[in-house]
Amino acid sequence: MELLIIDYLVIATLLVSAVLSLIRGFTKEVFSIVNWVIAIYAALFFSPLVKPLISPYINIVAVVNIGAFLAVFLVVFVVASLITNAIAERFKKHTPGVLDHTLGVAFGLARGTLIVCLAYFALVLAIPERQHPDWVRNAKTRPLMQTGVAIIVRAVPLDRLPVNISHIEGIIDNVPTLPEVLQKNIPQNLQDKIDDKGYKDNERKSIDRLFRNTEKEK
C-alpha cells in the first residue's frame, strides 16, 4: 500500500495529538474539549443577542458578526474553563494515573481525527472534490476524512456561522457523501438535530440529497 503525502500528514496529526493527550491525561483533555464545545455552541446561538449592542458602533456587518461571536465565545470559554478545571482536579484525585494517561491516548486519536476532518472540510469548502489534485483524491485516508466531513455537515448548524462562507446549498453540493453502511445508523438521529436547529426546508433537502447521492467520481 503506497501512502501519499496527505496520508503521512494525517498519520502525523494523529500521533502528535495522541502523544499530547498521553502527557496531559484523559481528564484534562476531555474537559479542555468540553470548554471549546460549550463556548462554540454558546457563541453560535447567543451571538445574535450581542449584535445589536455592537452594530451602533460598527457599520461593517462581517465585523459585527465576528465580534459578537468572539465576545460570547471568550466569556463562555473563560467561565467554562474555571468550572471544568475545578471539576477536573477532583476527578484526577479518584482516577489512577496510568489509566488516565492510557485513556488520554484514545482520546488524542479521536481528537486528531476530528482535526483532520475539519481540515478536509475547509479544503472542500475552498475547492470542490472533483477539482482536488491526485495526491488528495488517491490518498488512502481520504474515505476517513470524507466520512468525518459528512457527519460534521449533519451535526453543525452551518446557517449560524458568523460569516457566510457561501450559500449553504452550494456548500452541501461540494461536500462528500456518507458511506452507505453509516447511512443506515446515523442520519435519522442527526437529521432530528438539524430539524431542531432551524434549517430551512431547502437547506434540509440539500443535506438529505447529500446522503442519498453516491460519490460520482468513484
C-alpha cell at 126: 475552498
Task: Give pLDDT, residue 15.
Answer: 94
Give the residue, 93 or 186, on which the prediction is more confident: 93
Maximum Cα–Cα distance across the chain: 59
Q: How many CB atoms lie within 10 A of CB 90?
A: 10
Q: How confident is the model at residue 206 (pLDDT cuts 50, 70, 90)?
A: low
pTM here?
0.57
Give the residue, 37 or 171, on which the prediction is more confident: 37
Cβ contacts of residue 48 below 8 Å, gap of 6+?
Answer: 68
Cβ pair 175, 150 in contact under 8 A: yes
Give SS3 for 13: helix
How crowded is the C-beta side of 67, counted as CA atoms within 13 Å? 15
Task: Give pLDDT, residue 160.
Answer: 60
The rounded distance, in Å, linking the Cα atoms of 66 and 163 is 7
Query: Among positive and negative, which fits the CA dihedral 104, 105, 106, 107?
Result: positive
Torsion of the alpha carbons at 149, 212, 142 and 40, rounded to the nearest 10? 0
Give the residue, 214 or 216, on which the prediction is more confident: 216
User: pLDDT tens digit string along 60-102?
Assistant: 877 888 888 899 999 999 999 899 888 877 776 666 677 778 8
C-alpha cell at 117: 476532518
Q: To which residue does cell 496529526 refer? A: 13
Q: To which residue does cell 476530528 refer? A: 114
- Cα 35-50-203 angle, rounded to 5 deg: 80
Task: Give pLDDT, residue 207.
Answer: 54
Task: Give pLDDT, residue 161.
Answer: 59
- Cα 128-129-133 angle, rounded to 5 deg: 105
